[in-house]
Amino acid sequence: MMILLNWVRENFFGSKLDVILSIVGAFFIYFILSTVISFIINSDWTLILVNRQLMLTGLMPEEEIWRVWTIFSLTVILMTTSVAFWFNINIKGSIFYILLLLMPFLIFTTKNTLLYVLLIMILSIVFFYLGYRSKNSGLKNIVSRVIVISWIILLPICFLILNILDGPKMTLWGGFMINLILAAIAIFAGFPLGILLALGRASSYKLIKLISTLYIEVIRGAPLVAWLLLAWFVLPKFLPNLFGLSDLNIVVRAMIVLSLFASAYIAEVIRGGLQSIPRGQEEASFALGMNSISTTIFIVLPQAIKIVIPTVVSTFIAIFKDTSLVFILAITDLLRIGRLIPEQQQAFFGKSIESLCVVALLFWIVSLVLSQISRNIEKKLNI
């Protein structure tokens, strides 16, 4: 007790300035907390309960929701296994992650889906344990390879599940799901493309350098909104008539634009990393007789990417949030739904704040998860 009092006295009432700051700070915190808590208690949250499915999956029909659940379960299980296998999780960390995952679950489950939820949770715990145990066993290499391959094929499998057996039209996809899918595609396609562009811009072949630089500067020259609108109006005219490319639906066009946009920004981040590698590394590699390509792949690029991981993850988070801009293409993403509910549903007329709070919460959770992953990767690489 005495120790606590002493700690409080030292840290909050040390000097005259401390005392003033503490008092001002206390009032400030009280003010904010009371407003927030009274808001939370007094608001009508039935809006969320009623519109759960709408927010998560948009206009997808009820019968097709099982696809979303399958994808979700696969992703969660893969994530828990990866986390257990690669990161050094202690008890505190695991509880934090579990609570984090539970939150959206609790908000969005209904009585029917409770069984699904329990099943997923049990499977996650099982795989978590398996991943944790195999970390130190002899199967380490095989498990590692299996996990990496699983991640790579996860996205195509998701598409398969969404489309198989006469799946719902792509234009019906919406809600939180479409934000996640668009972001995933933009990141998975944009990252390798960004690497190629960065290498192209640093290349000694003048033509490649010119094309890469031009691409990056042009893309960065306009806001994403402009590019998305261009995708709507202009892109169909440019695409050749082969393979039905000119009939590409708007969701695929949005994916293309987002990927190209992301690649330009990722390219610049990686180029910064490439430039920070001392020339001596290249010289040593050349002196050993390795050619430019080997030097880049084995010596320069690994070091460059390692250095820019924090910035790259920031870019990923920004890309994820940028996906809400697809509302201008009439794609019903989470933000659009969040805005439309208070406007179009009589029962919840005017309750924009509650609606947007949940939207913000969901975006924030994803950003938080991405940041945590980034921090864990950095810690792991600095060993």
Partner 1 sequence: MKKTESKKKLSVEAKGVTKLFGDFQALKGITANIYEGEVVVVFGPSGSGKSTFIRTINGLEEHNSGEITVNGIPLNDDVKNRDEIRGQVGMVFQQFNLFPHLSVLRNITLAPQKVKKLSKSESEELAMSLLERVGIPEQAAKFPTQLSGGQQQRVAIARALAMQPKIMLFDEPTSALDPEMIKEVLDVMIELAQSGMTMICVTHEMGFAREVADRFLFFDEGLIVEEGTPEHFFKNPKEERTKLFLSQIL
Identify the CA nearest to 312 among candidates 256, 255, 377: 377
CA pair distance 176, 105, nearest whole angstrom? 13
Closest distance of CB 163 from partner 1, Å: 41
Closest distance of CB 135 from partner 1, Å: 19
Q: Please identify, using beta-carbon distances, which residue of 211 and 307 lies nearer to partner 1.
A: 307
* Residue 214 tokens, joined: 């031009």
| Binding-site ranges for partner 1 (CB under 8 A) | 278, 280-281, 283-291, 294, 298-299, 302-303, 306
Q: For residue 231, give the H/E element and its range.
A: helix 224-233
* Residue 368 tokens, joined: 């938080």
Q: Please identify, using beta-carbon distances, which residue of 177 and 305 lies nearer to partner 1.
A: 305
* Residue 327 tokens, joined: 């509302």
CA pair distance 254, 260, nearest whole angstrom? 10
Q: Please identify, using beta-carbon distances, which residue of 179 and 285 lies nearer to partner 1.
A: 285
Closest distance of CB 281 from partner 1, Å: 6
Closest distance of CB 139 from partner 1, Å: 21
Distances (CA, A) of 182 to 30, 101, 364: 40, 21, 17
CA pair distance 217, 68, nearest whole angstrom? 38
Q: Please identify, using beta-carbon distances, which residue of 32 and 297 lies nearer to partner 1.
A: 297
Closest distance of CB 310 from partner 1, Å: 17
Contact between residue 107 and residue 357 where contact means Cβ atoms under 8 Å apart: no
Chain-centroid distance, C-alpha 116: 24
Q: Please identify, using beta-carbon distances, which residue of 58 and 273 lies nearer to partner 1.
A: 273
CA pair distance 266, 186, nearest whole angstrom? 11
Identify the CA nearest to 174 among candidates 257, 270, 68, 94: 68
Q: Please identify, using beta-carbon distances, which residue of 61 and 278 lies nearer to partner 1.
A: 278
Q: Please identify, using beta-carbon distances, which residue of 164 and 293 lies nearer to partner 1.
A: 293
Report helix, strand or coil for 58: strand
Closest distance of CB 211 from partner 1, Å: 23
Q: Please identify, using beta-carbon distances, which residue of 252 and 377 lies nearer to partner 1.
A: 377
Residue 113: CB atoms within 10 Å: 17
Closest distance of CB 68 from partner 1, Å: 40
Closest distance of CB 285 from partner 1, Å: 8
* Residue 279 tokens, joined: 């020339």
Decide: residue 178, CB within 10 A, 0-12 exposed, 13-18 middle, 19+ buried: buried
What phi, psi does 138 have (nearest 5°)? -75, -20
